[in-house]
Structure 1
Amino acid sequence: MRTPSIRNALEQLHRFLQSLTIQRRLSPNTTAAYGADLRSFLRFHHGSLETVTREQIQNYFRFCHQQKISARSNARRLAALRAFFGFLHQQGIVEVNPLTDIDTPKIGQALPKVLSESEVNTLLQRPARPTPLALRNHAMLHLLYASGLRVSELVNLPVTSCNLASGHLRILGKGDKERIVPFSAITGAIIRDYLEQARPHLLKGKASPLLFCSNRGRAMTRNRFWQIIRQAALAAGLTKEISPHILRHSFATHLLAGGADLRSVQMMLGHADIATTQIYTHVDTDRLKSIHRRFHPRG
């Protein structure tokens, strides 16, 4: 049974999450991640938010460490708690933010996993049996690599946002920020084949504003596309772990390796901060170091 203090804490959490959606215009996925992290703390604390102290916050992170929670996840939880208690302080719920002097855990910058260009070519081979579903999956995989979209952007992409004549996508990304992403004539031809030969069969006379739909003519889920990309990797004989985000990482890394400037890649990915994009320069640096060690006489 929930005590009054727990009910009040959950109500305040609900108000905070609403503010993230309405005022800060964060995506549903980001808001859900904040909610999950903060509920973890509320399950640990059990008491009134007004009485939370710096020591209790530290005890919570000791508990997280004992549970083998990674430094990166703890840094995210700390960021969520800072934002939540900052909100409570602004609302006059708490007099002092107990997280003011707590340092963020130091974490190493994990380099994103990428596919080689030959692995991408293997994954994106045209299906031997061009069924409507195979053509749809092929078009989705090809467009994901060609444009570097987030999986949520891909499965929610409207038909009207794909301009085949000019070869570009109009993407409404995080924070409702719009960006333009070009794609090649090859990608355009693959999408056109899907639109003409596959999409009408999937819709079965139904109408849909989305470019890609399920075999029942409905919107596709993120989880379903994860299954599609894994099945495609297995069928292609690739043993690497492959996810939608790995194709996005590969898109950025291959662009930079080919000579694209960092600012252009940032715009195509929809990163608010160029520092987020700079991680891909480290990926290419690692490749160069590997080549140097392999071929240089004093490598």
Structure 2
Amino acid sequence: MQHARPHMRCWLLLCSDLAIRSGTAIALTPSCYDKDAGVLRFRSKYESTVALPVTAELAALLNKCDDPCRPFIAQLSGRRSTYGSLSVQFRKLRKLAGVTRQITPHDLRRTTARNVYQITKDLRIVQALLGHADLAHTAWYLQDDMTPVLSSTLELAKLNPTTEVIQ
């Protein structure tokens, strides 16, 4: 990512560090950013409110933008950016970095979600990060990394009267 121009760097950090959908990341404006708290607040695809702390590297880029109504990416690039134009630039960066696998910015979101799950083992934290309304969507993101539940564990849970039922 060292070869990325500021607008691309910002877009990729939003997609990777904060696991924001690439389309949502393109549209975020300074009105979503609380500089004092270092938090981005926005509505997810599923209309839930998401509040995510920004990393220092991302904050440095966001702090360069001052027009509250114009997207960060447009301010950093000097022009309106579309998903298509950013995708072309992303492919060029992948090639420049020697990455041959066909990854997309959405893969960065999925990777961050999996990393957070590996650290926390908490689906609810990953659900909050991704802004999913339904926990099943979150589990789908993590299906390759989910620890299998043994039927013997479920049977033991049935026998334990103190086991709580998750609604």
With the length of structure 1 as denominator, give the TM-score of the two structures: 0.44
More RCO (CA 8 Å, sep 6+)? 2
Alignment partner, residue 230 of structure 1: 91
1:177 is aligned to 2:48: yes
Q: Letter of the 1:160 partner, please give it.
A: S
Matched, 1:249 2:110: yes
Query: Equivalents in 2 of 1:280, 1:156: separation in Å?
Result: 23
For 2:36 and 2:22, the matched residues in 1 are separated by: 24
RMSD: 2.7
Secondary structure class of the residue paired with 1:174: coil
Aligned residues: 147
Which residues of structure 2 form unaligned runs of 5+? 148-167
- What is the CA deviation profile of residues 156-203 of structure 1, one whole-angstrom value per residue up to 9, with x for unaligned ones? 1011112233222111222543221222233323444xx2xxx69xxx
Sort the Cα spacing of 1:285 and 1:266 in 2 relative to 1 into closer, same or farther, 3 A.
closer
Q: Secondary structure at the match of 1:147?
A: coil
Distance 2:25 2:71 in 1: 10
Percent of matched pairs sharing the same residue: 26
Instruction: Pick closer, same or farther for the CA change 1:148–1:215 going to 2, 3 Å.
Output: closer
Whether 1:166 aligns to 2:41 is no
Summarize the alignment of residues 275-290 of structure 1 with structure 2, pairs less than 5 Å apart. Answer: 275-285=136-146
Per the TM alignment, residue 214 of structure 1 is displaced from its structure 2 partner at its CA by 7.0
My pick for the range that moved more, 256-265 or 234-243, is 256-265
- Alignment of 1:189 onto 2:60: yes
Measure the CA separation in 2 of the matches of 1:216 and 1:178: 27
Work out which of the residue numbers 20, 24, 32 in structure 2 matches 1:153.
24
Structure-2-length-normalised TM-score:
0.74
1:245 is paired with a residue of what secondary structure? helix
CA distance in 1, matches of 2:107, 2:73: 20
5+ residue gaps, structure 1? 1-123, 128-132, 201-205, 287-299
Bigger Cα Rg: 1
Q: Which structure has the highest helix share of the two? A: 1
Q: Is this contact kept in 2: 1:148–1:268, CA < 8 A? A: yes
1:270 match: 131
